[in-house]
Structure 1
Amino acid sequence: MGTCVSVGIIGLGHVGAHVANSLMLQGIADELLLCDIASGDEDNSRKLAAEVQDLSDSLAFCSHNVRIESCGEDYAALASCDVVVNAAGKVRLAAQDRDGELFYTTDTARRFIPVLARAGFSGVWVTVANPCDVVATQIWKLGGFDPRRVIGTGTQLDSARFRHVLSRETGIDQHSVGAYMLGEHGATQFACWSQVNFGGKPLAELEREEPARFSLDRPALEDAARRGGYVAMAGKMCTEYAVANAAARLVRAVVSNEHAVLACSTLMDGVYGEEGLFCSVPCVVGGSGVEALMVPDLTGPEQAAFHASCAHIRENLGRVGLV
């Protein structure tokens, strides 16, 4: 990375604006280049100007200075960024499930993926837009980018929700819980129960030693992790804080070259026999994007769940002509 960390954000709706704010407050970016679509049935140009004004005003309260620039629909202006975050979506279409945005987000992405490819963008993509795995696959296929430099936020947030409910049930701090939701960032994701541990001690051992504390209602907790976003959706018709921080976490892992292990969506290249699409497994994330996959040894039912997730992603890819 250069001495000036430059991050581009496409889409300044609920999530994109919070990504920008989180990057500022955490001191992750030195420069933010912000784009949004100015045509169609919504006046996003006014929204973009408003967000730039509001973010700029908040700099007085930040410990880290950031240059903020509105780039309108000039996506090529983001070509020199270290990371480009794709948050272009329409959240109200996802009121029932994440597939609701399928045609909107993929149609929108076709407007900027080729532009950045032609402009020579060689940084790392972090894509949030849903269905996350489909859009990540589209960025790779349509732009011809190195697939390891395309990262979907995937089940990173779902894994955080899973650790939260495990913490709530056991009283163990969530930062000491090792647990992942894997597969699609959607209804077919699944809890990788075989790998759950508390401070490195497997759940299976703790269930034998302290059954009163660690004999958990697995289906209920898995469903709580899977459906957590819809608690927020039911009350305010969007999710914004947590997913924005999940994206910011990935950006930090890239620009700081952390080699952090995070559950995120990456290209399947023979993982459990799957290939040609993006799906979530634990990944080592650093300056070059996804540097390695930490593929867990799944049980038979877990492998079946993973294949079901991939089948659903592949079905959606077919619906938008990407297979």
Structure 2
Amino acid sequence: MSISISIIGASGAVGSTLATHILRSDLLGANDRLQLVGRGVPASTARLLATRTDLLDAFDQERVDIEVVPEIEDVDGDIVVVCAGGTISAKAMDRRLLGSANLPIFEQIADACAAHVPGSIFIVVSNPVELAVQVLSSRLGRHRVFGMGAQQDSLRFARAIAKDLGISRHDIRASVLGEHGQAMVPLWSTVELKFMDPALHGVLSQLKDLSAASPLMDRVIALQKQVAELLLAEEIAEAYEAARKALPDARIMVEPMITGHTMHSTPNATANATLHCLAATIRNHHVRVHGQVSLQGESLGLEGICGVPIHLTRAGWTAAPLPRLTADERMHVESSARSIDNYLRSVYSHPDQAIALS
């Protein structure tokens, strides 16, 4: 059965990088289609036509049909990836600050998709992920909408731990729940090695003990202050080194701040995490990933938008089992969910303001 993937925002850094990652993978083949969706202006369409030719020159051996359409109303993919909207910058590192500007964009996308492709699966990449998931879920079936932010954060957490252990990320399982932002919750109780090695298990236990010795947010705030001073002096290498010396849970919350200062985006990391979600959806293998979804008690009894473990199929998401959390971890996840809910309420109450509530 053929599959069609539409990328809304394909002319941006993340959207174009995602197209490359998809075509490099084995997800699509002959008779499948990759649809690049423009912004409804000639410059966007022209850029995508050039991108299409470049992609064909690189990947046409797979015979994937690469199509350019100028308007959101032209979307007709089985899976729609939403990459449109403003992105973080050196002046707006908090993803929540993008809410007021991106809300009308998300509403336009949701209305168009509800009218033309209501039965598709929707993967949200745009920030704030939680806001976009809320908007799309209110107009489309909530089990067909999920954000990839929690998967990206979980991969970052696994990589940070693997780096300290001197092993591959593929040998680590780790979960980050909650918000794709400052209210994320790295869960040390979910971290485990995929093989037996007493020495590495000992090092992992030491990392867990060091993390438990002082509150995460105290360490994050101190690291953010140090990094901010280095970035102000444009000492980028020193900022990365400061983050490298931090424990993995704090590192993953601050390192994107450094990258965003310089690049304003993490196109390859974002595309890779999205590709994980696409592969799980298309292959129907019930592989566990992580995503921001609209919950009605399916995971930890939570209500509203929150990042949790999920299984993905062509029918949408279902909540995946989660190992027993510590009391503190559960409290932090519940607190993150409340923080997300308060933020979303503030955006709808004050759509003309950029509000970032804690």
Equivalent pair of 1:178/1:200 in contact (CA under 8 Å)? no
Q: CA–CA distance in 1 between the matches of 2:94 and 2:43?
A: 26
Deviates further, 290-299 or 28-37: 290-299
Equivalent pair of 2:308/2:319 in contact (CA under 8 Å)? no
- CA offsets, 1:77-105, max 9 Å, x none? 323x2200000022245741211221222
- Pair 1:100–1:113, CA change in 2 (3 A): same
Equivalent pair of 1:284/1:294 in contact (CA under 8 Å)? no
User: Among 154, 163, 175, which residue is 2:170 paired with?
Assistant: 175
1:99-114 map, 5 Å? 99-114=96-111
Equivalent pair of 1:158/1:225 in contact (CA under 8 Å)? yes
1:157-306 map, 5 Å? 157-199=152-194, 210=202, 214-216=205-207, 217-218=210-211, 219=216, 220-270=247-297, 271-275=299-303, 277-306=304-333
* Structure 2 residue ranges without an equivalent (≥5): 217-246, 351-358
- CA offsets, 1:240-278, max 9 Å, x none? 001011112211111111211011112221233421x22
Aligned residues: 308
Normalised to the residue count of structure 2, the TM-score between the two structures is 0.79
* Structure 1 residue ranges without an equivalent (≥5): none
Equivalent pair of 1:125/1:150 in contact (CA under 8 Å)? yes
SS in 2 for 1:121: coil
Give 1:49's aligned residue.
Answer: 49
Q: CA–CA distance in 2 between the matches of 1:28 and 1:76?
A: 25
User: Among 85, 97, 104, which residue is 2:81 paired with?
Assistant: 85
- How far is the alpha carbon of 1:43 from its aligned partner? 4.1
Query: Sequence identity, in percent?
Result: 26
Deviates further, 214-223 or 297-306: 214-223
Q: CA–CA distance in 1 between the matches of 2:345 and 2:147?
A: 19
Give 2:18's aligned residue.
Answer: 19
- CA offsets, 1:97-136, max 9 Å, x none? 2112212222112122112211243121011001111211
Runs of 4 or more consecutive aligned structure 1 residues displaced over 3 Å after TM superposition: 92-95
Give 1:129's aligned residue.
Answer: 126
Give 2:340's aligned residue.
Answer: 313
- Pair 1:51–1:105, CA change in 2 (3 A): farther
Deviates further, 284-293 or 157-166: 284-293
- Pair 1:268–1:322, CA change in 2 (3 A): farther
- Pair 1:285–1:206, CA change in 2 (3 A): farther
- Pair 1:245–1:178, CA change in 2 (3 A): same
Q: CA–CA distance in 1 between the matches of 2:121 and 2:171?
A: 29
- Pair 1:100–1:267, CA change in 2 (3 A): same
- CA offsets, 1:183-211, max 9 Å, x none? 1111110111122111267x9x979x735
Q: CA–CA distance in 1 between the matches of 2:276 and 2:63?
A: 19
RMSD over aligned CA atoms reads 2.5
- Pair 1:24–1:229, CA change in 2 (3 A): same
Equivalent pair of 1:33/1:71 in contact (CA under 8 Å)? yes
Equivalent pair of 1:25/1:64 in contact (CA under 8 Å)? no
Amino acid at match of 1:129: S
Q: CA–CA distance in 2 between the matches of 1:120 and 1:155?
A: 25
Amino acid at match of 1:151: F
- Pair 1:135–1:241, CA change in 2 (3 A): same
- Pair 1:292–1:47, CA change in 2 (3 A): same
